[in-house]
């Protein structure tokens, strides 16, 4: 379970996000999403009733595998999710 609202469902650290730092985004978890307009990881986690991608039996799914390769921040998010899975005893 993620214990901070500043870690997104995908594992991105909001404090490292330019949109969050520039006050363009309150964080993925604090955003009030319009129906059908949620970011994919948020919508998926809500649908599966899990806190974050680390809790998914399909982690990392094909959609998120590409995301986790896009940038250093996304690679750090992947490492964060892997660490969470390991700490929870889940298997990839």
Q: Residue ranges of the domains in the chain?
A: 14-88
Give residue 1's pLDDT band: very low, low, confident or very high (50, 70, 90). Answer: low
Looking at residue 3, its pLDDT comes to 65
- Please state the rounded mean pLDDT for residues 30-44: 85
Round to whole Å and give the CA distance between 57 and 35.
25
Does 81 score more than 90 pLDDT? yes
pLDDT-derived band at 50, boundaries 50, 70, 90: very high
Residue 40 above 80 pLDDT?
yes
pTM: 0.80
**What is the spatial distance between Cα 23 and Cα 25, in angstroms, rounded to a whole number?**
5
Q: Residue 1 and residue 51: Cα distance in Å, rounded?
A: 6
Residue corresponding to tokens 């298997």: 91
């Amino acid at each position: 379970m993620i214990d901070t609202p500043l870690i997104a469902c995908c594992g991105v650290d909001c404090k490292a996000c330019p949109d969050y730092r520039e006050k363009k985004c309150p964080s993925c978890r604090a955003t009030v999403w319009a129906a059908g307009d949620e970011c994919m990881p948020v919508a998926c986690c809500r649908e599966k009733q899990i806190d974050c991608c680390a809790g998914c039996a399909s982690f990392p799914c094909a959609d998120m595998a590409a995301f986790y390769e896009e940038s250093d921040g996304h690679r750090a998010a992947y490492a964060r999710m892997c660490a969470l899975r390991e700490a929870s005893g889940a298997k990839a």
